[in-house]
């Protein structure tokens, strides 16, 4: 089974809400709400991948020192195994927008369960509820 490394982040605002981003309808797991991030490219560090993805997807600048590891997802999809470190970030530069035209939502931890998420993400929710 191919292992795919994806770096993801829970952006947390001043009110303790978490940012979710809706996957495009035409992609795998389309329409589901995910943590921003994406695939780590060959030779790339996960933190660098995340900083790159946050700029591309949300239009914000994040310093590596502001990315704190929280937990990870390890999930067997049908055609690959997802290994996804989840960081927490409370500080960034710029205004968070859906820079690729996607919907975004700031969600209280206890409301995360109301947003349909990829199966790999479900076990991550209690970690955020505990943290926040």
Ligand X SMILES: Nc1nc2c([nH]c(=O)n2[C@H]2C[C@H](O)[C@@H](COP(=O)(O)OP(=O)(O)OP(=O)(O)O)O2)c(=O)[nH]1
Cα–Cα separations (whole angstroms), residue 131 to 20, 56, 108, 114: 17, 27, 12, 19
Which residues between 73 and 92 bind ligand X (CB under 6 A)? 82
Q: Which residues are annotated as a binding site for Mg(2+)?
A: 37, 57
Residue 132's binding partner among Mg ion, ligand X, none (Cβ under 5 to 8 angstroms by kind) is none
Nearer to Mg ion, 38 or 98 (CB): 38
Cα–Cα separations (whole angstroms), residue 105 to 32, 35, 74: 12, 11, 24
Total site size for ligand X, rule CB under 6 A: 15
Minimum Å gap between C-beta 94 and ligand X is 19
In sequence order, the β-bridge partners of residue 12 are 18
Whether 37 and 52 have beta carbons less than 8 Å apart is answered as no
Cα–Cα separations (whole angstroms), residue 88 to 17, 26, 79: 12, 28, 28
Give me the residue whose beta carbon is nearest to ligand X. Answer: 38
Q: Which residues are annotated as a binding site?
A: 23, 34-37, 57
Minimum Å gap between C-beta 60 and ligand X is 15
In which residue are the tokens 């795919």 written? 4
User: Is position 11 an interface residue for ligand X (rule: CB under 6 A)?
Assistant: no
Minimum Å gap between C-beta 53 and Mg ion is 6
Residue from 38, 44, 81, 107 in contact with Mg ion (CB under 5 A): 38
Cα gap 86→37, rounded to integer Å: 9
Which residues between 13 and 32 bind ligand X (CB under 6 A)? 27-29
């Amino acid at each position: 089974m191919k292992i795919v490394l994806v770096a993801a982040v829970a952006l947390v605002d001043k009110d303790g809400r978490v940012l979710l981003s809706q996957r495009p309808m035409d992609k795998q797991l389309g329409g589901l709400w995910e943590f921003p991030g994406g695939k780590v490219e060959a030779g790339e560090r996960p933190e660098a991948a995340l900083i790159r993805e946050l700029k591309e997807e949300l239009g914000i600048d994040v310093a590596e020192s502001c990315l704190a590891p929280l937990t990870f997802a390890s999930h067997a999809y049908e055609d690959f195994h997802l290994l996804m470190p989840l960081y927490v970030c409370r500080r960034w530069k710029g205004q968070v927008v859906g820079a690729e035209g996607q919907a975004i939502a700031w969600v209280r931890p206890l409301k995360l369960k109301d947003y349909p998420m990829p199966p790999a993400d479900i076990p991550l929710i209690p970690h955020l509820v505990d943290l926040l």
